[in-house]
Amino acid sequence: MLVQETTRTYGNAIGGRWVPGRSGETYTTVNPARPGEVIGRFQRSTPEDVDDAVAAAAAALPEWAATPPPRRGAVLLEAWLRLRERAEAFAETLTRETGKVITDARGEVRRALNVLEFMAGEGRRLGGETIPSELPQNLIFTRRRPLGVVALITPWNFPIAIPMWKVAPALLCGNTVVLKPATTTPLCALRIAELFADAGLPPGVLNVVTGPGGTVGDRLVTHPQVRAVSFTGSTEVGSALYGRASAGLRRVQCEMGGKNALVVLPDADLDLAVEATVQGAFGFCGQRCTATSRVVVHRAVREAFLERLVARVRALRVGDPMDPQADMGPLASAAQLEKVLGYVAVGRAEGARVLAGGERVRPAGLEEGYFVAPTVFDGVQPRMRLAQEEIFGPVLAVLTCRDLDEAIAIVNDSAYGFKAALYTSDVNAAMRFTDRVDVAMVHINAPTLGGEVQAPFGGRKASGAGWKEQGRAAIEFFSEELVVYMDYTGARRDARFI
């Protein structure tokens, strides 16, 4: 653990050095399970600090862009080896910064390892294609080349995995990077910068600037030398950012909020569906864009499903996130606590019934922590705020349907379009669901959570804009195709055929 570093002041990572911010001001972050425990002091950076970071990235760009892709992949592989050695330390830092239970934190570190492993291999596959020409002794081929300096803005809920699945493909494609982490989770990002430096990444290729989004983020996404922006966060912030960043003809990808639904049909394995619902709704306190926020249950199995669901939720253990036996830790901040308790009050006012939870929890020895009981509301109607708004907390809305058609209508009645899950043993129903549901990712007999690093990831509607992330989609976003026409006839071409 890094408890001995709780009073340390951390600099920004710029140009291969740890440097103080130009303002000289710092801010502190705290452990959400123990708000009296200060994790560290971090730079309250200014637009001038962003300019310094972008300048360092621009200076490092020519050499890194000229580095052959297999050698870039080798740096990612070295980072993978070092992260594997430091996995437990990274997980403990993550738990202290976010309140995520240690078992989930270890899983997030494994996800980061998977990203590095996949992208390291792509270094030897970063090729183009040959295209036949209509002219004799002519060749058309494509190559991938970097965009330039790219800006990455990452959230607090996955402060290791999400930066890694942006940083790794950006570096592999030959770009240089300025990373702006969430204000409340800067230490994980600085640990990532340290990891890559130790892995042999040249100075200035990866830079990290901490501080508020209103100053650091705004300058970063509008900086004239930044050629692409990758953002993960709220829909409100992302939609505004998309407009500002794209106005400068930058590439932009925004992965934003969700109101994901899980549908349970009469022929579903109810025990499996209950477990998936609990994982999706209450893992990391529901603080993820892929969380199950709504469960739509067929009326024929409603009572049986709810009985099992409530029993399972009441058995969840809320406590110290460092305890491997804990199922749920605290919410990530005091602001999150206030927001979630506010939505509990909204649900009661709307007439929904609390079947479990609905109150703040004060575990022994952690009375000041930001803990909330896992909460289940029944009797939720499709147009209630509980069914429409992203809560980003451990609050599950239960709705009832008459058939598959009504279930699909409920799922689609949302501004969001990230994920949906269906539990059924009917393959025809599963295929109709995938054909008609208005989301970007569908899970059949699997929770709404996660995804694999080799597959595209992202939402539609209010859940996403621009390119997808991960897999080959990440390569496509962080690089551009150069098309080359080569004439080896040695003769002058007749302009009439051009």
Active-site amino acid positions: 255, 289
- 329 sits in which H/E element: none
Residue 482, class by beta-carbon neighbours within 10 Å (0-12 exposed, 13-18 middle, 19+ buried)?
exposed
DSSP code of residue 337? H
Render 116-161 in DSSP notation, one character per residue: HHHHHHHTT-----EE--SSTTEEEEEEEEE-SEEEEE--SSSTTH
Give the whole-angstrom CA distance, residue 382 versus residue 362. Answer: 32
> In sequence order, what are the residues at sequence separation of 6 or more whose Cβ sits closer than 8 angstroms to the Cβ of residue 291?
258, 260, 280, 281, 283, 284, 392, 448, 449
Residue 98, class by beta-carbon neighbours within 10 Å (0-12 exposed, 13-18 middle, 19+ buried)?
buried
Q: Which pair of structure tokens corresponds to residue 447?
A: 């929770």
Q: Which pair of structure tokens corresponds to residue 219?
A: 């300058």
Give the whole-angstrom CA distance, residue 404 versus residue 296. Answer: 10
Q: Which pair of structure tokens corresponds to residue 115?
A: 């990203």
DSSP code of residue 6? T
Q: Tell me how far CA of residue 123 lies from CA of 82, 145, 194, 246, 467, in angstroms.
A: 18, 12, 22, 29, 21
CB neighbourhood size of 199 (10 A): 18
Q: Which pair of structure tokens corresponds to residue 334?
A: 């005091």
Beta strand ranges found along 198-284 (DSSP E)? 206-208, 226-232, 251-255, 260-264
Check if the beta carbon of residue 85 is closer than 8 Å to that of residue 194: no
Give the whole-angstrom CA distance, residue 272 versus residue 262. Answer: 12
Provide φ and ψ at 148, rounded to 5°.
135, -135
Q: Which pair of structure tokens corresponds to residue 171?
A: 């570096």
Check if the beta carbon of residue 253 is closer than 8 Å to that of residue 468: yes
Check if the beta carbon of residue 416 is closer than 8 Å to that of residue 391: no
Amino acid letter for position 91? A
Helix, coil or strand: residue 353 = strand
